[in-house]
């Protein structure tokens, strides 16, 4: 086949990156070639995200640029992944995209490409609702393009059953399903053998990971693996591999998981625990299945069981019906916890979701913006405060690469997922170094090697 060079761009979260690695593996197995840059490619895949309006706007802008490339060169453009019905209709009308492939149909991407090249539409694809891609040994796009990588993502659950009212994920990614634990362990071992030192287990809701297998039908025996058991198995099987995971839904997190984290050195001491809001009224409207009090209790449990654990958050400001008191509830909750870091967004209604259909997006834009800024400023203060706690401490850092700001410095992370930079000496990417922290910003720990 003449046109076989492909290029993938990501517009979303860690799950998108992990999906791109699966797609790359599928395409390489079908004789396609991964291009290092766009100029060499004939097939351009845009891995979309529809969680917030902003990501969709970026995608629209990108397609406007690519429209010009299409005039000068034979290229075929596919939108893949987490796209909404609306965005598909928008691009279909404009005739800017050759094919669309949803998250459960990646195995059929080669067919979509062949048909597009022949000027036809591939219509007969099936959406496999139980697809986990567990049997696919993924190929890391960056490593394939010759960037040494020692950390990797691995999806262990796909989809989500939670139906938070603001969120489009259950519509774009479908119902939740978990991958076979044997395939997860096998894949992690393969990663370790190939030089990877850290894996992040991904799922919209990792704590609800569940695998049930009939072992012996006659004696009614079952093999049940929940998230705590999976973590325990992985930590024991690959003791030299750092293990991270994301995202933990507060509703599903159990003490059993916390105890396993505290028991194993190679399970990193960081929990990403999106709260979304500190107001019970708003949490209820969001259909988050915990109260502010339950969330605070969970944070206390984390601190009791894993005292050195860092905690990060997601917060949405300006959700439907949020008033000043609700906003202050969020501010107070942040003050109470003083998170290490967080991701903060202003609410954008997503077509198809419950909130879009049934609730009013009634917080004026300028108030949303003002509240978001307050939240961001406060988080910066808290991050700085938390970083200060590390001054004088010696941290074990896994070196991931050169610091972007200064190539005389190494860049890595400690177990709490905090960024550490220190002057280069000895060592290499993938090594562990012990670093004494001398200085900090709100985002970075700065130190010196302990020799
Ligand atoms: N599964 C994760 C969240 C996945 S989406 C969880 O349990 O929370 C990542 C983050 O995007 C969410 O936590 C939320 O803070 C944000 N987000 C999702 N939908 C949004 C919307 N419509 N507007 C603004 N932020 C949104
Ligand atoms: Fe979205 Fe809530 Fe699931 S934020 S991904 S519906 S846990």
pLDDT at 348: 96
- Residue whose CA lies nearest to ligand 1 atom number 1: 204
20-34 pLDDT tens trace: 999 999 999 999 999
Q: Is the CB of 346 under 6 A from ligand 2?
A: no
Q: With contact defined as beta carbons under 8 Å apart, do 58 and 91 qualify?
A: no
Question: pLDDT value at position 143?
Answer: 63
Are 75 and 117 in contact, with CB atoms under 8 Å apart?
no
Long-range contacts of 373-380 (CB under 8 A, 24+ apart): 374/327, 374/331, 375/315, 375/317, 375/330, 375/331, 375/334, 375/344, 376/344, 378/331, 378/334, 378/335, 379/334, 379/339, 379/341, 379/342, 379/344, 380/442
Cα-Cα-Cα-Cα dihedral sign, residues 312, 266, 418, 152: negative
The DSSP call for residue 443 is S
* Residue of higher predicted confidence among 213 and 178: 178
Output the pLDDT for position 12: 83
Q: How far is 251 from 379, CA to CA, in rounded Å? A: 23
Is residue 141 over pLDDT 60? yes
Smallest CA separation from ligand 2 atom 7, residue:
162
Closest ligand to 53 CA? 1
Q: How far apart are CA 57 and CA 87, in angstroms?
A: 10
Query: Is the pLDDT at 36 greater than 90, yes or no?
Result: no
Q: What is each CA distance from 373 to 10, 285, 366, 367, 376, in whole angstroms?
A: 27, 23, 11, 10, 5
Asked if residue 205 has its Cβ within 6 Å of ligand 2, the reply is yes
Domains, the chain, ranges and CATH? Answer: 5-117 (3.40.50.12160), 151-388 (3.80.30.20), 394-449 (2.40.50.140)
Whether 52 is in the pocket of ligand 1, judged by its Cβ within 6 Å, is yes
- Of 16, 52, 162, the one to substitute when testing ligand 2's pocket (max ligand atoms within 8 A of C-beta) is 162
Ligand 1 atom at minimum distance from 203 CA: 1
Share of the chain above pLDDT 90, in %: 81
Per-residue model confidence as pLDDT tens digits over 219-262:
777 889 999 999 999 999 999 999 999 999 999 999 999 999 99
pLDDT at 71: 80
pTM comes to 0.94
Category of 16 on φ-ψ map: left (φ > 0), alpha (ψ -120 to 50) or beta: alpha
pLDDT band at 145, cuts 50/70/90?
A: low
CA dihedral 207, 19, 153, 53 (to 10 degrees): -70
C-beta neighbour count of 266 within 10 angstroms:
15
Distance, in Å, from the CA atom of 70 to the CA atom of 285, rounded to the nearest integer, reads: 45
C-alpha–C-alpha distance, residues 320 and 282, integer Å: 8
**Separation of alpha carbons 357 and 211, rounded Å:** 34
Residue 338 has pLDDT above 80, yes or no: yes
By C-alpha distance, which of 161, 106, 154 is closest to 128? Answer: 106
- Residue 53 CA to ligand 1 centre (angstroms): 12
The 10s digit of each residue's pLDDT in 72-114 is 888 999 999 999 888 888 888 888 899 999 999 999 999 999 9
Residue 67: the pLDDT is: 83
Probe residue for ligand 2, chosen from 13, 52, 202, 204 as the CB with the greatest number of ligand atoms within 8 Å? 204
Give, for ligand 1, the residue of 157, 314, 354 to mutate: max count of ligand atoms closer than 8 Å to Cβ: 314
* Mean per-residue pLDDT, 361-380: 98
Cβ atoms 195, 147 nearer than 8 A:
no
Please report the atom of ligand 1 found closest to the CA of residue 167: 19
Task: State the average pLDDT over residues 128-156.
Answer: 81
Task: Encode pLDDT of 174-186 as tens digits.
Answer: 999 999 999 999 9
Percent of the chain whose predicted confidence (pLDDT) is above 70: 97
Per-residue model confidence (pLDDT) at position 123: 73
| Ligand 2 neighbour 15 (Cβ under 6 A) | no
Q: What pLDDT band is residue 148 in, cutting at 50, 70 and 90?
A: confident
d(CA 33, CA 29) in angstroms, rounded, equals 9
pLDDT at 293: 98
Does position 198 have pLDDT exceeding 90, yes or no?
A: yes
Mean pLDDT of the chain: 93
For residue 375, pLDDT over 60 is answered with yes
């Amino acid at each position: 086949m003449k046109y076989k060079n492909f290029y993938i761009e990501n517009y979303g979260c860690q799950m998108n990156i992990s999906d791109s690695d699966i797609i790359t593996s599928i395409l390489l197995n079908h004789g396609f070639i991964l291009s290092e840059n766009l100029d060499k490619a004939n097939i351009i895949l845009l891995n979309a995200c529809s969680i917030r309006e902003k990501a969709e706007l970026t995608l629209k802008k990108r397609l406007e640029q690519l429209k010009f490339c299409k005039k000068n060169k034979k290229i075929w453009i596919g939108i893949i992944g987490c796209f909404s019905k609306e965005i598909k209709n928008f691009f279909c009308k404009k005739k800017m995209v050759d094919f669309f492939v949803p998250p459960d149909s990646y195995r059929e991407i080669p067919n979509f490409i062949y048909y597009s090249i022949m000027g036809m539409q591939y219509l007969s694809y099936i959406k496999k609702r139980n697809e986990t891609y567990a049997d696919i040994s993924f190929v890391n796009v960056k490593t394939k393009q010759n960037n040494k990588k020692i950390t990797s993502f691995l999806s262990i659950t796909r989809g989500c059953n939670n139906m938070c009212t603001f969120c489009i994920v259950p519509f774009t990614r479908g119902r939740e399903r978990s991958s076979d634990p044997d395939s997860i362990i096998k894949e992690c071992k393969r990663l370790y053998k190939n030089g990877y030192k850290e894996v992040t287990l991904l799922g919209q809701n990792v704590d609800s990971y569940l695998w049930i297998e009939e072992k012996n039908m006659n004696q009614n025996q079952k093999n049940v693996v929940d998230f705590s058991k999976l973590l325990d198995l992985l930590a024991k099987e690959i003791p030299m591999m750092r293990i991270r995971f994301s995202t933990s839904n507060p509703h599903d997190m159990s003490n059993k998981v916390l105890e396993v984290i505290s028991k194993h050195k190679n399970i990193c001491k960081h929990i990403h625990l999106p709260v979304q809001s500190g107001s019970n009224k708003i949490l209820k409207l969001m259909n988050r299945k915990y109260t502010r009090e339950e969330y605070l209790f969970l944070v206390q449990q984390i601190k009791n069981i894993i005292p050195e654990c860092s905690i990060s958050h997601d917060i949405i400001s300006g959700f439907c019906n949020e008033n000043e008191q609700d906003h202050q509830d969020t501010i107070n909750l942040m003050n109470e916890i003083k998170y290490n870091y967080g991701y903060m967004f202003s609410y954008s209604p997503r077509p198809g979701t419950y909130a879009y259909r049934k609730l009013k997006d009634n917080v004026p834009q300028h108030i949303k913006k003002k509240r978001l800024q307050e939240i961001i400023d406060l988080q910066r203060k808290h991050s700085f405060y938390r970083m200060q706690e590390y001054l004088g401490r010696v941290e074990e850092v896994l070196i991931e690469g050169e610091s972007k700001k200064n190539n005389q410095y190494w860049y890595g992370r400690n177990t709490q997922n905090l960024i550490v930079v220190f002057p280069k000496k000895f060592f290499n990417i993938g090594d562990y170094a012990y670093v004494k922290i001398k200085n900090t910003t709100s985002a970075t720990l700065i130190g010196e090697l302990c020799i």
